[in-house]
Structure 1
Amino acid sequence: MEPNKAKSLADEIGKRGPFASLQQETYLNLLRTSTQLHRAFVQLFESVGISDSQYNVLRILQGTGKPMQIYQIGQHMITPQADISRLIDRLAKAELVKRARCDEDRRVVWIQLAPKGRAALKKLAKPLEKLHQTQFRHLSDQDLATLNELLFRARQSEP
């Protein structure tokens, strides 16, 4: 069956029998949707030479408007990173962020958005907004509000 003719996840993936549970179908539906939506963002970020995780770091720094320590950045990440230090290293090497040692405690390193990082975010702003609009154009504001509420509630059940 063609993907645009599918009426359900089972149709999309060519599943013959029923899912083991509604919970399994929901999880697989979330995973497939996330993967499909994410692909376009990865391509957009690659167009400016960064990854989605690097973009997330730049947005965090822009949002706070002040230098942050690496562990603080890690706490704000949408997708947790096992090796955030290496991620910051790559951003610093690309001159998208700057590092500065704390004068009072030399063990503390402050990370801040560099002009080149600001420029990358500015370049991505309109294309990102357009991508968000395009990906969700077929859903009403009420649909989106409901989806956001349901997704938030689903995350609250984590152990």
Structure 2
Amino acid sequence: MRSTSATKLTLDYAANESSGELPSATSMVEGGSAMDSSFQTSNLEFPSFRGEAYAAAARRAGRINASAISDQEHEALLLERQLLLDKKFAGNISRKDANRLEYVRWSLDRIEDAKHGWAADALEDSIAGYERLSEDMRSLARQIEGLQKHK
């Protein structure tokens, strides 16, 4: 990025005029004037955001989005859920309303998770730690029993 003024930053890149495509990251690194000439792209390793890290980031992003809902929107969802449940229990719910009920329930679950999910995650981490400790203790007991048998 280059600074065009004290308050405005712009992205410094050269788009391929003929194809309308942006240059690749490698070509920008290799040909970019802002990069140090001693920089080697072969040493560049990009992190892989898969598995648990990806899931944790997605969960965190979802919680941030869900926590941004206003009290009025939350109350509106609760009221809509109640009206749709009344239709369901009366036996005259349409397929469209049943789908909407599932969506409203999902939305309310996301809001609830945003409020209390952090505590549930901490509890889950503690439980996993105790389970690892328990397995380590069982392994230690098996090792001690094996040593006692060899004596």
Q: Same fold per TM (> 0.5)?
A: no
TM-score range, shorter chain: under 0.3
Bigger share in helix:
2
Q: Which structure would you say has the larger Rg?
A: 2
